[in-house]
């Protein structure tokens, strides 16, 4: 679609963006309304300025952008690489666009280490939109960038500000009508009430002491997750405490996710112990226990005006829950227990979303086996939550594959139920941190405030890119669990320490960390 009167604008626009005219090949004057050569297949290898694209480098390093063999879909890809430090941009200008919402999708890889490496949509009429390229040296990752076009034009831009030897691959871009974003930007704050009771203090980034929930809200958090234990030894994370914290969550204007562990202590893939009060109960009685406990907590929340918006029936239930009766070795019984929880949630409020939550977010085969079994046994659920910790659960590409598959295979929205990343390795208390060695980290993501921030942005990008708008969002795990004497991991032992303070969203000086910036991710 060529408009002669747009030719001048096509020439002037890159100049307005601070680009030298000499960087513009002739075809820029004939800007198209659809992406040209979006798979970089037109020129073979070694082409610095592929057909349809322009290359710019303030330092004259245009040779750092080139096509080469090894595409995502076809035979070739775009690569940014140089043996010396470089800054380069590969871009394409579109005009004649109908105003509205658009979404750029691309497949990317990166060896990491750059000052910045990102895709951008700019000169589209509003604020520039960017998505960083995640560190993934082997598997391709799909990322998206949404934009509102208001002036009938847009520039698609691939950018690297890189150190010597850094590289990215980009391929198979599409620019189509659509939107993206993350409705849920949350964190688990289950540790907060006990922390405050034991003297825990929270400060904003400038050092002013305040309410942790208000600080998280001001950073962009819109959802909070609270776990429920039945009768914990320390008296925290029980019904009464959850009710009190829920009032504070809702007062901040946040939504509430209630995470039922159906235990007196931690429930996860390695432990699903029944509450002491339910010990010795028959399977039939356990179904009633699940219903009554779920209904009781949620109905009390509703009665005080803090109705749960989402509920997890069980926590990381890869092996089932309420062992042994609810183990995955007896799926019909596990299904009965899960449906008992589902029915209780809906009896209190039919609009509350019911989630089923597994760990091991990079385990495609295991996730399929579990949900195939759930579906074949008639388990009722609304959404799927996966925990994904990059130092335990496979690569970012593994996580994307598993998350995308779950959304498509079961036709359900999906969310990242738990993730976290360290901002340092040393401990603040005497208890050894769970992640405390550089050898345990994810390659390309240092244990620094910058590394923690980059991790959160990149997992957010993967959830945002789930097809058909089924990526709901993220909960960061235990953002407020700082090192406070008496608020350790073991509810039965007041002297137990915290192995997680180096992965909180508040630093060792109690200040809000830069990683909170991901809460404002679109």
11-17 contact pairs (CB < 8 A, 24+) = 13/93, 13/123, 13/153, 13/155, 14/54, 14/56, 14/91, 14/93, 14/155, 16/123, 17/122, 17/123, 17/155
CB 23 within 8 A of CB 62: yes
> 496-517 as b/e, with b when 16 or more CB fall inside 10 Å?
ebbbbbbbbbbbeebbbbbbbe
CA 196 to mean position of chain CA atoms: 27
Largest CA distance in the chain: 81
478 catalytic per annotation: no
Residues β-bridged to residue 148: 101
Could you say which of 89, 418, 478, 501 is catalytic?
418
List of residues 6+ apart from 8 with CB closer than 8 A: none
89 catalytic per annotation: no
**Alpha carbons 333 and 493: distance in angstroms, whole number:** 33
Could you say which of 41, 89, 316, 325 is catalytic?
316
Q: How far is CA 483 from CA 45, 201, 286, 343, 418, in A?
A: 54, 10, 36, 38, 20
How far is the first Cα of the chain from the last one, in angstroms, to the nearest whole number?
A: 31
The residues that are catalytic are 316, 418
């Amino acid at each position: 679609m060529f408009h002669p009167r747009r030719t001048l604008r096509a020439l002037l626009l890159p100049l307005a963006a601070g680009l030298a005219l000499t960087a513009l090949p002739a075809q820029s004057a004939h800007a198209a309304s659809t992406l040209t050569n979006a798979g970089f297949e037109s020129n073979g290898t070694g082409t610095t300025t592929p057909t349809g694209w322009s290359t710019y480098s303030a330092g004259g390093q245009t040779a750092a952008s080139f096509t080469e063999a090894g595409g995502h879909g076809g035979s070739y890809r775009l690569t940014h690489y140089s043996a010396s430090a470089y800054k380069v941009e590969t871009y394409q200008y579109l005009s004649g666009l109908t105003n509205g919402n658009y979404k750029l999708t691309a497949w990317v890889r990166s060896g990491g280490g750059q000052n910045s490496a990102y895709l951008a949509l700019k000169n589209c009429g509003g604020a520039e939109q960017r998505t960083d390229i995640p560190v993934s040296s082997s598997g391709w990752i799909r990322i998206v960038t949404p934009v509102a076009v208001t002036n009938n034009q847009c520039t698609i831009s691939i950018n690297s500000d890189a150190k010597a030897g850094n590289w990215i691959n980009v391929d198979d871009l599409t620019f189509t009508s659509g939107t993206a974003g993350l409705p849920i930007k949350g964190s688990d704050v289950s540790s907060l009430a006990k922390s405050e009771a034991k003297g825990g203090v929270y400060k904003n980034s400038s050092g002013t002491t305040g309410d942790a929930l208000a600080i998280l809200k001001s950073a962009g958090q819109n959802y909070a997750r609270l776990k429920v234990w039945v009768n914990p030894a320390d008296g925290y994370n029980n019904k009464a405490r959850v009710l009190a914290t829920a009032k504070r969550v809702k007062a901040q204007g946040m939504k509430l996710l209630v995470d039922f562990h159906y235990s007196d202590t931690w429930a996860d893939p390695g432990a699903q112990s029944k509450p002491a009060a339910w010990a010795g109960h028959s399977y039939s009685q356990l179904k009633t226990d699940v219903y009554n406990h779920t209904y009781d907590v949620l109905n009390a929340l509703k009665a005080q005006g803090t109705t749960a918006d989402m509920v997890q029936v069980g926590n990381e239930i890869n092996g089932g829950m309420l062992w042994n009766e609810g183990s995955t070795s007896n799926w019909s019984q596990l299904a009965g227990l899960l449906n008992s929880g589902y029915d209780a949630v809906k009896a209190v409020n039919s609009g509350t979303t019911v989630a089923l939550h597994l760990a091991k977010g990079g385990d495609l085969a295991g996730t399929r086996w579990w949900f195939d079994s759930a579906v074949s046994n008639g388990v009722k659920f609304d959404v799927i939550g996966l925990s994904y910790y990059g130092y335990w659960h496979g690569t970012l590409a593994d996580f994307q594959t598993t998350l995308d598959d779950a959304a498509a295979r079961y036709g359900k929205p999906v969310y990242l139920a738990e993730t976290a990343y360290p901002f340092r390795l040393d401990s603040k208390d005497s208890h050894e941190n769970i992640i405390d060695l550089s050898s345990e980290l994810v390659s390309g993501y240092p244990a620094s405030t910058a590394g923690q921030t980059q991790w959160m942005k990149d997992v957010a990008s993967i959830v945002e890119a789930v097809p058909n708008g089924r990526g709901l969002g993220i909960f960061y795990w235990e953002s407020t669990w700082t090192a406070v004497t008496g608020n350790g991991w073991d509810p039965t032992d007041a002297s137990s320490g915290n192995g997680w303070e180096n992965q909180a969203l508040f630093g060792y000086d109690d200040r809000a960390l830069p990683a909170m910036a991901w809460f404002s991710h679109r």
